[in-house]
């Protein structure tokens, strides 16, 4: 891992860009160290997502957490995936035609992404956690929910996860969701134009953890109320000891 | 209103029993006055409900809120309602036989209760709010959700409501729910053996307020996690200024 730039913000947060091999990433650390680390999940495209990720990182820093994120495979400046682009085109065609989105499309769109991304997030943990300003246990916060589920199942360093509800979850991920045991908080935007509410509720139902909470708020995909940031911090405060 | 007994608890909370006409009630006030008042809703039967109501009142007092509750019509030591008892027997017979619970049974069970209870909660506000240790705005917290919905629609002194999801909500109450405008937090126990999850989600969907949040937790009817008490206090802190 190599730090490529750094910026100290007015609230004392140090924001550093890094590369992990050819994967770009960002680390935000609060003044008080060592801080428990929260991995910030997102749908891909770090540059476009930066304002929202940065907002989440500063809100987490105010509660004492460091945050880190990496670019997803096939997004941002990373090499695109021909098969993922094809699956995305098939998805768009089905939605435009008002046809059902088949399991095949969902599997082709999501499963290779999960297969590629999860080991990268684990490699990011390997690189980040030795830093003296960071410590475990680790939280995962955000989407893609299929990545969050897989990572939470296979990675013992992740002790709690705040998952953003999403549609287009492969059946295989439902099966993995049933194996989850860590505490979970799921955020659902009730009127999310891009998400299927019923599928999101079905996935919440399938999650195997005995401590799981759903927070549903009125509004669209990007309309998560600010108070959910505080709720998320309190969720992690209960579980990242 | 007449106070009939009082008890000072170790945490400084003063608990007083009162009667309002022939309606028994309880008022809990924190040491710091005047405190915003939260009305504690419940399914009826103050004596059996006392441990849980008291727990909620002490948790609210720790955040600076006073709490009050009154017995429901037909419950506890109050005169029973022959028609409500008949509706309850019909409900039990339908459930035992595995037959659908008809709108007629739900209407006969719930609507007369709402019609009778809501003016009593309003009368309780009339009697309580002049006390120097209390102030508005007022919150409503608890079940019966049909009572909470009606009260929140007709009573302008209620500025925010934390509603416990429940089944057996009359269609007429769904129509009233669409008229709601105050901020709402709805608690749903995901595995509540006595509640229909789909109906609870449909009612949440119908609520007219632009700020509404659903908190669903794993577990049965009485398994609401302790952290939801803190979440409720923060919800009221945002809205009972």
Interface test with A, best of B186, B229, B231, B236 (most A CBs within 10 A): B231
pLDDT, one tens digit per residue, over A199-208 is 999 999 999 9
Residue B196 confidence (pLDDT): 85
Q: Which residues of B touch A (CB under 8 A)?
A: 188, 190, 201, 204-205, 209-218, 225, 227, 230-231, 234, 238
CA of B25 vs chain A CAs: smallest distance (Å): 33
Query: Cβ–Cβ of B213/A212 closer than 8 Å?
Result: no
Residue A223 confidence (pLDDT): 85
Interface size A-B, in CB pairs within 8 Å, comes to 50
Mean pLDDT of B154-162: 98
Confidence category of residue B171, pLDDT binned at 50, 70, 90: very high
Residue A136 counted as domain residue: yes
Confidence category of residue B241, pLDDT binned at 50, 70, 90: confident
**A69, A26 Cβ separation under 8 angstroms:** yes
Which chain B residues contact residue A201 at CB under 8 A?
Answer: 201
Asked whether the predicted pLDDT for residue B1 surpasses 80, the reply is yes
Tokens of B187: 């608690």
Residue A193 confidence (pLDDT): 78
A233 exposed, middle or buried (CB, 10 Å; 0-12, 13-18, 19+)? buried
Other Cβ atoms within 10 Å of A39 Cβ, number: 24
List all residues 6 or more positions away from B32 whose beta carbon is below 8 Å from its beta carbon: B64
Question: Among candidates B99, B74, B92, B94, which has minimal Cα distance to B84?
Answer: B74
Among all residues of chain A, which has the CA nearest to that of B214? A216
Which chain B residues contact residue A214 at CB under 8 A?
Answer: 188, 190, 214-217
Asked whether the predicted pLDDT for residue B107 surpasses 80, the reply is yes
Asked whether the predicted pLDDT for residue A195 surpasses 90, the reply is no
Mean pLDDT of A115-143: 97
Residue A100 counted as domain residue: no
Asked whether the predicted pLDDT for residue B224 surpasses 80, the reply is yes
Sign of the four-CA dihedral B171, B176, B180, B183 = negative
What ipTM is given for this predicted complex? 0.85
Of B213, B218, B227, the CB nearest to A210: B218
Residue A241 confidence (pLDDT): 77
Residue B166 confidence (pLDDT): 83
pLDDT, one tens digit per residue, over B120-148 is 999 999 999 999 999 999 999 999 999 99
CA of A3 vs chain B CAs: smallest distance (Å): 39
A38 exposed, middle or buried (CB, 10 Å; 0-12, 13-18, 19+)? buried
Residue B52 confidence (pLDDT): 93
CATH code of the domain covering residue A195: 3.40.50.1820
**A128, A148 Cβ separation under 8 angstroms:** no
CA of A210 vs chain B CAs: smallest distance (Å): 7
B72 exposed, middle or buried (CB, 10 Å; 0-12, 13-18, 19+)? buried
Question: Among candidates A43, A19, A44, A39, which has minimal Cα distance to A28?
Answer: A39
Q: Which residues of A touch B (CB under 8 A)?
A: 190, 201, 204-205, 209-218, 225, 227, 230-231, 234, 238
Query: Cβ–Cβ of B213/A217 closer than 8 Å?
Result: yes
Residue B138 counted as domain residue: yes
Residue A194 confidence (pLDDT): 75
Among all residues of chain B, which has the CA nearest to that of A231? B231
Of B210, B216, B234, the CB nearest to A214: B216
Residue A98 counted as domain residue: no
Query: Cβ–Cβ of A213/B205 closer than 8 Å?
Result: no
Asked whether the predicted pLDDT for residue B45 surpasses 90, the reply is yes
Give chain B's mean pLDDT. 95
Question: Concatenated DSSP letters for A51-94?
Answer: HHHHHHHHHHHHTT-EEEEEPPTTSTTSPPPHHHHHHHHHHHHH
Interface test with A, best of B178, B217, B218, B228 (most A CBs within 10 A): B218
Residues in chain B: 241
Which chain A residues contact residue B209 at CB under 8 A?
Answer: 218
Mean pLDDT of B25-31: 97
**Which range (A55-59, A196-200, B87-91) has the least confidence?**
A196-200
Residue B101 counted as domain residue: no
Give chain A's mean pLDDT. 95
Residue B163 confidence (pLDDT): 97
Query: Cβ–Cβ of A218/B210 closer than 8 Å?
Result: yes
Residue B192 confidence (pLDDT): 81
Residue B213 confidence (pLDDT): 97
Residue A191 counted as domain residue: yes
Asked whether the predicted pLDDT for residue B194 surpasses 80, the reply is no
Question: Among candidates B108, B193, B113, B197, which has minimal Cα distance to B149?
Answer: B113
Q: How far apart are CA B38 and CA B140, in angstroms?
A: 6
Residue A222 confidence (pLDDT): 82
Query: Cβ–Cβ of A234/B230 closer than 8 Å?
Result: yes
Residue B86 confidence (pLDDT): 96
Q: How far apart are CA A10 and CA A174, in angstroms?
A: 42
Residue A99 counted as domain residue: no
Domain total of chain A? 1
**Which of residues B241 and A230 earns the better pLDDT score?**
A230
pLDDT, one tens digit per residue, over A205-240 is 999 999 999 999 998 888 899 899 999 999 999 999
Residue A82 confidence (pLDDT): 93
Of B213, B218, B227, the CB nearest to A216: B213
Query: Cβ–Cβ of B211/A227 closer than 8 Å?
Result: no
List all residues 6 or more positions away from B128 whose beta carbon is below 8 Å from its beta carbon: B1, B27, B37, B68, B134
Which chain B residues contact residue A217 at CB under 8 A?
Answer: 212-214
Interface test with B, best of A219, A227, A228, A232 (most B CBs within 10 A): A227
Q: Which domain holds residue B141?
A: 2-78+113-239
Residue B157 counted as domain residue: yes
Residue A170 confidence (pLDDT): 96
């Amino acid at each position: 891992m190599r730090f490529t730039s750094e910026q100290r913000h007015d609230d004392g947060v140090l924001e550093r860009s890094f590369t992990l091999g050819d994967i770009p990433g960002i680390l935000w650390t609060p003044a008080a160290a060592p801080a428990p680390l929260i991995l910030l999940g997102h749908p891909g495209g770090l540059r476009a997502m930066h304002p929202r990720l940065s907002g989440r990182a500063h809100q987490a820093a105010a509660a004492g957490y460091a945050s880190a994120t990496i670019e997803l495979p096939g997004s941002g400046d990373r090499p695109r995936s021909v098969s993922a682009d094809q699956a995305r085109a098939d998805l768009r065609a089905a939605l435009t035609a008002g046809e059902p989105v088949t399991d095949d499309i969902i599997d082709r769109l999501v499963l290779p992404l999960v297969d590629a991304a999860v080991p990268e997030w684990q490699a990011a943990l390997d690189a980040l956690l030795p830093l003296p300003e960071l410590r475990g246990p680790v939280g995962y916060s955000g989407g893609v929910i299929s990545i969050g589920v897989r990572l939470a199942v296979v990675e013992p360093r992740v002790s709690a996860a705040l998952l953003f509800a999403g549609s287009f979850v492969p059946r295989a991920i439902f099966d993995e969701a049933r194996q989850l045991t860590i505490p979970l908080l799921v955020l659902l935007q009730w009127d999310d134009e891009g998400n299927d509410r019923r599928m999101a509720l079905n996935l919440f139902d399938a999650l195997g953890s005995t401590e799981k909470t759903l927070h549903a708020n009125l509004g669209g995909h990007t309309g998560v109320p600010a108070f959910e940031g505080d709720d998320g911090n309190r969720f992690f405060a209960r579980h990242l000891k």
